[in-house]
Amino acid sequence: MNLRAIPQRLGTSWVIVIGIAVTVAVLVSVLAMVAGFSKTLSSTGRADRVIVLRGGSVAELSSTISRDNTINIMDAAGVKKDADGKPIASAEMVAVVALPLKKTGTAANLTVRGIGPKNAELRPEIHLIAGRMFQPAVRELIVGRSAAAQFQGVDIGSRITVRNSEWTVVGEFESGGDAHESELMGDIETVLSAFRRNLFQSVTVMLDSPEAFAQYKDKLTTDPTLTVDVEREPDYYAAQSKQLNKLLNFLAFGVGGIMAIGAIFGALNTMYSAVSARSLEIATLRAIGFGAGAVVVSVFVEALLLSLVGGLIGAAAAWLFFNGNTVNTLGANFTQVVFHLTVTPQLLASGIIWACIIGVLGGLFPAIKAARLPVATALRAA
């Protein structure tokens, strides 16, 4: 019955709806960002793949490994061998090139990764979606799907100049949405010579099994000719993204939480005024025999319904505007990391649940007030 009266109080009811819609929209979209980011990272790397860097170098970009050392690292026991008995491993270098972003036209950093000949066995998740693979000893690159979407001049057929050498992009690859999709890749020896380097930066190896890790790590760290850090890929990528994760979590929980508190105040306000506008009606209901419980329920239902509408609008807005959007920012290795916003059903549900919690909290005190309303005074005031 009180629901039918909502249109009469449209103005104040909108306050709840809009307040909650905005809160839920922000919460859902920031959480979608967190989810997209962690998806990019969690899908980068497998437990049976290991990345080896120079000891204490923290990130690939600052690491250096000599050619002799890469051989020791790849030949150590525990590394999986392919059909012809060669270790499934890739000694790599990464460099940064600055290219213009499509969105703003300003230059941003993009990773160029030189990869070894065993890359196909090492990273089976990488496959071409257009064009062809680069050929060794030729200045050709393949571009990741995310990088192709974000940067100008990296489409198939375009040319990139690095230190007097011209490179042609010949293929585009995808790798299950992981961090490598934000990179360019080329043949390691050709990339090394173009950047005039003779040091590698990391070695990625495939182990016989995830359990072989401890033994493999011991082997490398006790080798007197090596000073290296050995990490499972998932651990490495998680550590690389700690800073960004912190910022995103602050946005999601800090900002989302503060907004939720603000929305609760808005809801309280609306429901209090709803109760006071209906005080005569409520008193009449009480006078003709409705219990306090019924009154509490009616206020609650109104608050919940309004918040639900707000939650739905907010969740829908987040889904409409942000689902599938890409966000890029400066990530590990001093280069752009791209992640996709995915508004999942779970996120939508959690947004709506949040809306209901806000509604319940906002409706609680006004409901109690309504129930306690002294019947006689309320009727007399009219």
d(CA 148, CA 184): 9
Shortest spacing between CB 127 and other proteins, in angstroms: 28
Residue closer to other proteins by CB (options 62, 346) is 62
Shortest spacing between CB 10 and other proteins, in angstroms: 10
Work out which of 158, 168, 273, 284 binds other proteins, going by CB under 8 A.
273
Q: Tokens 């196909």 map to which residue?
A: 120
* Residue 47 within binding range of other proteins, rule CB under 8 A: no
Work out which of 96, 238, 308, 357 binds other proteins, going by CB under 8 A.
96
Q: Nearest to residue 17, comparing CAs of 316, 376, 331, 334?
A: 316
For the beta carbon of residue 257, count every other beta carbon within 10 angstroms: 12
Work out which of 38, 64, 158, 350 binds other proteins, going by CB under 8 A.
64
How far is CA 155 from each of CA 102, 103, 133, 170, rounded to the nearest angstrom?
A: 12, 15, 14, 8
Site string for other proteins, 283-322 (x = CB under 8 A): ----------------------------------------
Stretch that binds other proteins, among 138-146, 168-176, 206-214, 330-338 (CB under 8 A): 330-338
Shortest spacing between CB 326 and other proteins, in angstroms: 9
Query: How many residues belong to the site for other proteins (CB under 8 A)?
Result: 63
* Residue 263 within binding range of other proteins, rule CB under 8 A: yes
Stretch that binds other proteins, among 17-25, 123-131, 214-222, 371-379 (CB under 8 A): 17-25
* Residue 58 within binding range of other proteins, rule CB under 8 A: yes
Shortest spacing between CB 332 and other proteins, in angstroms: 13
DSSP letters of 24-67? HHHHHHHHHHHHHHHHHHHTS--TTEEEEEETT--SGGG--B-H
d(CA 204, CA 182): 18
The token duo for 170 is: 């010949």
Q: Tokens 């001093």 map to which residue?
A: 334
Q: Which residues contact 158 (CB under 8 A, 6 or more apart)?
A: 168, 169
Q: What does residue 97 show for φ and ψ, rounded to 5 degrees?
A: -120, 145
Q: What does residue 43 show for φ and ψ, rounded to 5 degrees?
A: -85, -10
Q: Which residues contact 8 (CB under 8 A, 6 or more apart)?
A: none
* Residue 100 within binding range of other proteins, rule CB under 8 A: no
Shortest spacing between CB 56 and other proteins, in angstroms: 6
* Residue 19 within binding range of other proteins, rule CB under 8 A: yes
d(CA 345, CA 350): 9
The residue type of 130 is: A
Shortest spacing between CB 335 and other proteins, in angstroms: 9
Residue closer to other proteins by CB (options 226, 304) is 226
Residue closer to other proteins by CB (options 226, 296) is 226
* Residue 380 within binding range of other proteins, rule CB under 8 A: no
d(CA 379, CA 382): 5
* Residue 222 within binding range of other proteins, rule CB under 8 A: no
Residue closer to other proteins by CB (options 125, 281) is 281
* Residue 152 within binding range of other proteins, rule CB under 8 A: no
Shortest spacing between CB 81 and other proteins, in angstroms: 29
The residue type of 380 is: R
Q: b/e string for 190-199 if b means 16 or more Cβ within 10 A?
A: bbbbbbeeee
Shortest spacing between CB 343 and other proteins, in angstroms: 15
Q: Nearest to residue 71, comparing CAs of 250, 266, 252, 223?
A: 223
Residues that bind other proteins (CB under 8 A): 11-12, 14-15, 18-19, 21-23, 25-26, 30, 33, 54-59, 61-64, 95-98, 101, 104, 106-109, 162-164, 195-196, 199, 227, 246-247, 250-251, 254-255, 258-259, 261-263, 265-266, 268-269, 272-273, 327-330, 334, 336
